Each structure stands twice: as C-alpha cells, then as structure tokens.
C-alpha cells in the first residue's frame, strides 16, 4: 500500500509531497511495511498483548508454542484472504488457510493483510477452551 502511494506521488513529479510522505512514515517509528503480533501458547492458554492494529496493512503473526503439547492456532480472520504460513521450514500459501498446527516447542509465522475490522477470535481446535482474540481497528494510516 505504501509503495503504491509513493510511486504515484513521484510519477506526478511532486517531490515535496513525496518527502512529506516519507517523513510521515519515519515519524511513525520506521518499519511501517508490517505490523507484528506475537502470540505465545503457554500452559494451555494463548498469551498475547493487544497492539493497535490497522486494516490494509501487512500483518505478521508469530505464534510460539512453549508447551510440550501439540496445539493449533485457528481463526476465521484469514477467510478468503491470501495467507502465507511458515511452519517447521515449510511455507504454505493460499486463500483457504484457517490456521496452523504447532508441535511442542515449535513456532509458526502467519502473514496476511488485514481486511476486516472488528473482533477476531482465534482458538485451538484440539483444546476447545483455548481462546483468544484480536481487535482490529479501522484507523487510517495518517
Ligand atoms: Cu491446544
């Protein structure tokens, strides 16, 4: 999203606008290309810190299973969205991805672009009482 905007501005020859845009990016603390969420699984529970999340931004969810037990991070938040899952050195990519299974002491990385605002639940399909949620705010990248 950012790159598209920037190239459109540059092709118009409006250098000042481009500089302002770059400054705006930098003033937000750098790495605006992605927003990151860390989810830990510990003692049969999801542990995550709610961070402000924006729509239309590349999102990286890192899930770390600290238990010995096998767990699953599953959610409908990826429904219909191109999603990339990296787990145990294997990368899968698709629109029908509903989550990822994690063996004990393993981690996985899910990348997608958040498109829908609201509360998005995630859960472990193996242990039905394991649940968590992310709140996606519809806030413009101003
Ligand atoms: Cu589980």
In this structure, the answer to whether residues 76 and 101 fall within a common structural domain is yes
Distance CA 61, CA 48 (A): 10
Question: How far, in Å, from the CA of 70 to the mean position of ligand 1?
Answer: 6
Residue 32 to residue 42: CA distance in whole angstroms: 29
Residues 70 and 12 in one domain: no
Is there a domain that residue 141 lies in? no
Q: How would residue 97 be classed by pLDDT, with cut points 50, 70 and 90?
A: very high
Ligand 1: distance of its center to the CA of 71 in Å? 4
Would you say residue 119 lies in a domain?
Answer: yes
Q: Looking at the structure, do residues 46 and 110 belong to the same domain, yes or no?
A: yes
Q: Over the stretch 1-11, which tens digit does the pLDDT of each residue have?
A: 444 444 444 44
For the residues 8-24, what does the mean pLDDT come to?
45
What's the CA-to-centroid distance between 42 and ligand 1, angstroms? Answer: 10
Same domain, 37 and 22: no
Q: How far is the CA of 116 from the centre of ligand 1 (A)?
A: 26
Distance 79 CA to ligand 1 centre (A): 21
Name the average pLDDT for the chain.
Answer: 81
CATH number at residue 83: 2.60.40.420
Report the candidate in 54, 9, 5 with the shortest Cα–Cα distance to residue 28.
54
Give the list of residues 6+ apart from residue 51 with CB closer than 8 angstroms, or none: 35, 36, 37
pLDDT of residue 51: 82
Tell me: do 104 and 129 sit in the same domain. yes
Distance of CA 130 from the midpoint of ligand 1 (Å) = 6
Q: Are residues 83 and 40 in the same domain?
A: yes
Residue span of the structural domain in which 10 resides: 1-32
Asked whether residue 62 carries a pLDDT value surpassing 80, the answer given is yes
Ligand 1 mean position to 108 CA, how many Å? 14
- pLDDT of 112 higher than 60: yes
pLDDT in tens, 24-43: 444 444 546 799 999 999 99
> By percentage, how much of the chain surpasses pLDDT 70?
74
Cα of 90 from ligand 1 centre, angstroms:
21
């Amino acid at each position: 999203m950012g790159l598209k905007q920037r190239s459109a501005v540059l092709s118009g020859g409006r250098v000042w606008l481009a500089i302002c845009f770059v400054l705006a990016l930098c003033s937000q603390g750098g790495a605006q290309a992605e927003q990151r969420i860390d989810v830990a699984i510990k003692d049969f529970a999801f542990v995550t810190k709610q961070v402000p999340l924006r729509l239309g931004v590349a999102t990286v969810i890192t899930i770390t299973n600290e238990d010995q037990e096998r767990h699953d991070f599953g959610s409908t938040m990826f429904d219909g969205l191109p999603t990339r899952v990296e787990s145990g050195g294997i990368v899968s990519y698709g629109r029908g991805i509903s989550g990822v299974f994690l063996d004990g002491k393993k981690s996985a990385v899910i990348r997608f672009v958040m498109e829908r605002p609201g509360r998005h639940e995630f859960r472990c399909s193996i242990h039905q009482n394991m649940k968590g949620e992310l709140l996606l705010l519809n806030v413009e990248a101003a």
